[in-house]
Amino acid sequence: MNYIEYSHEKAIFLRAFEEQLPVMIKGPTGCGKTRFVEYMAESLNLPVFTVSCNEDTSASDLIGRFLLKGMETPWLDGPLTRAVRHGGICYLDEVVEARQEAVVILNSIADHRRQLFIDKTNEVLTAPPSFMLVVSYNPGYQSVLRDLKESVKQRFIGLRFDYPTRDHESQIIHSETNCDHELAVLLADFGYRSRRMKEDGLFEGVSTRMLINAAKLLRGKSLNSEMLESALVDPVTDEPNLRASLKALLSVFL
Amino acid sequence: MSVSDTPQADVVLARLLVALANNPSGVSREVAIHREGGERNPAVTPFGLVISQSCREAFGTFFSSGEQRLSALAIAAHAQAHFEFSPLFNRMGRLKDLSLAVISLIEDARVEARMGLVVPKLSEVFARFLDPQKAKTIVGVEGQLAQIAVCLHLRTDPFENLLCKKVLSMMELVWRMPSILLLDQRRAFDAVREIGSVIANDLGQLRYRFDRSRYNVWPPYRDDNSGLWSDEKAEDLIHETVSQGKATDYSESSTPGLDADRDLLFFYDEWDSSENRYKAGYATVKHRGVHVTRMGAEIRQRFSSLITADAPWTKALRGHRFSFSDSGDNLDLDRTVERSIDVVSGVASNDRIYRIWRRRKFRAGILFLLDASQSANDRISGTFLSVLDVQKRALISLADRFSADAIPFGIFSFNSNTQDDVRVIAHKGFLTLWSDNERQSLKNLQAELSTRMGAALRHSGAICNGVLQQLAVVVITDGEPTDIDPRAPEYFDVDTHRAVQELRQSGAEVLCLKIGEDLRGRSAMIFGQSNLFCVNPKAVSPGLLQLFRKLRKSFV
């Protein structure tokens, strides 16, 4: 797996792993949070147990639950319990979306105790050294309404991600898609400039992920406006003025 | 394509200016419409860009075409190049009109080249408009200037024109010296000025006649260069154009204050508690600021994508959510199974296995109604701030937050001087950008007179008619309603309470943010305990956050 480092995130992550500290990754959508976790897991030769959290994610979804099987009620471990039992990285994506009851159970596993309490089976699991808890979230759009409690946040080592610089982003686009260098530079510049409009009505700028998708769609093809718009305008906004602005900005491609 | 899908050229150009700015902390600039009709080049001013009405209209109908988009990009990129790399309002000295035109032309080429270094392929965008064949078709001195423009862009001479060769050889020095081209605007402009003077002199020797009044810069995406020169008359004209253009276009006033010629009059009933009846058309509201007819249309436009034939927009914002209960009619199967397993396993079970559906109404926008009466001038003990200062800060803080979340909000302020003179100023429409102008308008607001709140609330309801049921109205005040006409104190309270009830019956949510040291008071009776947020002026944040959270939950 390929990952281009743009700060010291690898070293910090490795040190956190050595010291058995949990890591919290913050950053806007599509900036490489998940890719980084996958890359680090591969580097450390650890499995990743990923949970994409949403407003219905409960403690049972993380820890596990009893199932009905005939007249039996076997216990099924959730991803967090599996990671604690067998070692690996438990990655909770968009953790702030999860219910409070789900977030609170992280407290004991995220601090020095590194223990997971499973009340339904009356178990207390202690995490092995190969276990690491990683959570991520986007502190942008709903930060005031949905935020982690201080008591949870302060247990983590924070890694702040952002969209890369234009040079760096064009390298990423090129290495991910093997597209022309010129196309990668143009896409990176478009990404940078679209993010300037973020304060002006765009909820999120065009992400690195979107630029990579666009490069995949466009590589080796002659550029046409429909393809560009499908990749870079349609997913981000329906507002007529913003659409027209982004389309005008795309004119440099044609 | 419906009308609401038509992009507005001024908004699009303003966004392009933001996108093309190379300085991340660059000042965002506005795009205004020239008050006079006719075809004209855009004008660059320190405040932003002024485009002609015809330019706006052309974009309005043709934004779907690639050429129009390209043209918009070229206009914005050229203007941004001037903003970033040209010193504006240079002294004209004794330069003649032709010299000014030539120097401006060379400066255009210089800043475009500079811009092309930071935005990939932008020079190719400019090249589409600098067509040598078209330049050849232009006659007279304008033709010479057009050919020079093409040569400067191409950095070669396709015309075999001696003047072009001369200007290219002189500019070679500028292109070759990065310190001049890239770093020092003033030195670069001085070099351009010298070269332009020589070329203009040559054109004069060739007996070309130049008529400034008939000259239009070519290609038309380029600005008219009026912003480059410090001509007092021109400067005044630019200032005037910008302010007049804005006022005409948006019907907004940059400096609030009542002007009898421009107020719109509205008449509202008022509840007389002593006679227990409405007095028809008793209160006169004088409205100024954002055009009243735009307010409802703005909100409809914001939610146009939700409107379908099957789901009228008034219903589109109705959402549902469910919670769980231990009794009810709708069994949640997952929870029931989980509970059965818990019971069989002998662990504590969750008995809340029934779903209860609740209607949750989403709001389409927020209208802030700021009480600007005399009492807001009171100083807050132990500080240099007045209540009005704190009110403004609180409102700006809320506005910043809602603006960041792209939630539509409008801002009105009001005060009164008896029932015949209730003054309402609309500082911001729902979809107007929350820019420095709106902030400044709010900051300039002075507190005076009294607080006839009932009339102001009814006016808010009336001008948001049709969208009111989707709105939240937030009154920001430091006290209770009152006015100078001799009435029992409860007269104004009861009338305001009536007005609040009327708004709520229309579907609006009415909240009150009370800022002051005398908390609660009679406001709880008027707005209801749960709709009143009291804030100590010395510690505003907690109450403000509480209000923000309540409001924010109402938006999709």
CB contacts < 8 A (A, B): 108
Q: Closest chain B residue to A69 measured between Cα atoms?
A: B341
Nearest alpha carbon to residue B75 among B127, B16, B33, B149: B16
Residues 432-491 of B with CB under 8 A from A: 433
Where does the pLDDT of residue B143 fall: very low under 50, low under 70, confident under 90, or very high at 90 and above? very high
Contact state of B12 with A119 under an 8 Å Cβ cutoff: no
**Alpha-helical segments (H) within B119-262:** 122-129, 132-137, 140-154, 162-176, 178, 185-205, 232-250
Contact state of A241 with B404 under an 8 Å Cβ cutoff: no
Whether the pLDDT of residue B155 is over 60: the answer is yes
Instruction: Please state the separation of Cα B220 from the chain's center in Å.
Output: 27
User: Rounded to the nearest 10 degrees, how much is the dihedral formed by the CA atoms of B252, B253, B256, B261?
Assistant: -100
3-class DSSP state for residue B422? Answer: strand
Q: Are B414 and B425 in contact (CB under 8 A)?
A: yes
Strand ranges for B349-421 from DSSP E: 354-361, 365-371, 409-416
Looking at the complex, report in whole angstroms how far the Cα of residue B403 sits from the nearest Cα belonging to chain A: 8
Nearest alpha carbon to residue B271 among B452, B416, B415: B452
Q: Which residues contact B426 (CB under 8 A, 6 or more apart)?
A: B287, B288, B289, B290, B292, B295, B410, B411, B412
Measured between beta carbons, which residues in chain B are less than 8 angstroms from residue A197?
A: 15, 18-19
Tell me, yes or no, if B346 comes closer than 8 A to chain A by beta carbon: no
Tell me, yes or no, if B8 comes closer than 8 A to chain A by beta carbon: yes
Mean pLDDT (whole number) for B421-429: 88
* A145, A241, A254 ranked by CB distance to B12: nearest: A241
* A73, A119, A196 ranked by CB distance to B19: nearest: A196
Whether the pLDDT of residue A32 is over 70: the answer is yes
Tell me, yes or no, if B398 comes closer than 8 A to chain A by beta carbon: no
Contact state of A196 with B24 under an 8 Å Cβ cutoff: yes
Taking the CB of residue B359, how many other CB atoms lie within 10 A of it?
A: 8
| Token digits of residue B133 | 């064949």
| pLDDT the model gives residue B276 | 83
Query: Tell me: the pLDDT tens digits for B449-460?
Result: 888 999 999 888
| pLDDT the model gives residue A112 | 94
How many CA atoms, within 13 angstroms, populate the side-chain half-sphere of residue B423?
A: 20
Tell me, yes or no, if B280 comes closer than 8 A to chain A by beta carbon: no
Q: Are B534 and B520 in contact (CB under 8 A)?
A: yes
Among A174-178, B221-225, B342-346, where is mean pLDDT lowest?
Answer: B342-346
Nearest alpha carbon to residue A113 among A130, A132, A129, A127: A127
For B475, list phi and psi in degrees, rounded to 5: -90, 125
Residues 250-279 of B with CB under 8 A from A: none
* A196, A247, A253 ranked by CB distance to B21: nearest: A196
Q: Are B61 and B6 in contact (CB under 8 A)?
A: yes
Task: Give me Rg for the CA atoms of chain B.
Answer: 30
Looking at the complex, report in whole angstroms how far the Cα of residue A92 sits from the nearest Cα belonging to chain B: 23
Looking at the complex, report in whole angstroms how far the Cα of residue A251 sits from the nearest Cα belonging to chain B: 6
Beta bridge partners of A126: A115
Nearest alpha carbon to residue B151 among B160, B140, B142, B141: B160
Whether the pLDDT of residue A57 is over 70: the answer is yes
- Is the model more confident about B159 or about B308? B159
In angstroms, the CA A88 to CA B49 distance is: 57
Looking at the complex, report in whole angstroms how far the Cα of residue B211 sits from the nearest Cα belonging to chain A: 35
Measured between beta carbons, which residues in chain B are less than 8 angstroms from residue A141?
A: 405
Q: Closest chain B residue to A146 measured between Cα atoms?
A: B549
- Is the model more confident about B281 or about B357? B281
Q: Are B356 and B377 in contact (CB under 8 A)?
A: no
| pLDDT the model gives residue A242 | 87
- Tokens 């005037």 belong to which residue? B240
Query: Tell me: the pLDDT tens digits for B284-335?
Result: 888 887 665 555 555 555 555 544 444 444 444 444 456 777 777 788 888 8
| pLDDT the model gives residue B35 | 62
Taking the CB of residue A165, how many other CB atoms lie within 10 A of it?
A: 12
Which one of B8, B15, B55, B112 would you mutate to disrupt binding with A, by most A Cβ within 10 Å of its Cβ? B15
Which one of B5, B121, B436 would you mutate to disrupt binding with A, by most A Cβ within 10 Å of its Cβ? B121
* A67, A144, A203 ranked by CB distance to B406: nearest: A203
Name residue B184's amino acid. Answer: D
In angstroms, the CA B71 to CA B68 distance is: 5
Q: Is the bond leading into B219 cis (omega within 30 degrees of zero)?
A: yes
How long, in residues, is chain A? 254
Tell me, yes or no, if B122 comes closer than 8 A to chain A by beta carbon: yes
pTM of the model: 0.63
Q: Closest chain B residue to A253 measured between Cα atoms?
A: B121
Looking at the complex, report in whole angstroms how far the Cα of residue B406 sits from the nearest Cα belonging to chain A: 6
Where does the pLDDT of residue A62 fall: very low under 50, low under 70, confident under 90, or very high at 90 and above? very high
Measured between beta carbons, which residues in chain B are less than 8 angstroms from residue A120?
A: 342, 345, 347
Which ipTM score applies to this complex? 0.83
Looking at the complex, report in whole angstroms how far the Cα of residue B19 sits from the nearest Cα belonging to chain A: 5
Whether the pLDDT of residue A19 is over 90: the answer is yes
In angstroms, the CA B345 to CA A72 distance is: 9
| Token digits of residue B295 | 């307010």
Query: Tell me: the pLDDT tens digits for A148-178?
Result: 888 899 999 999 999 999 999 999 999 999 9
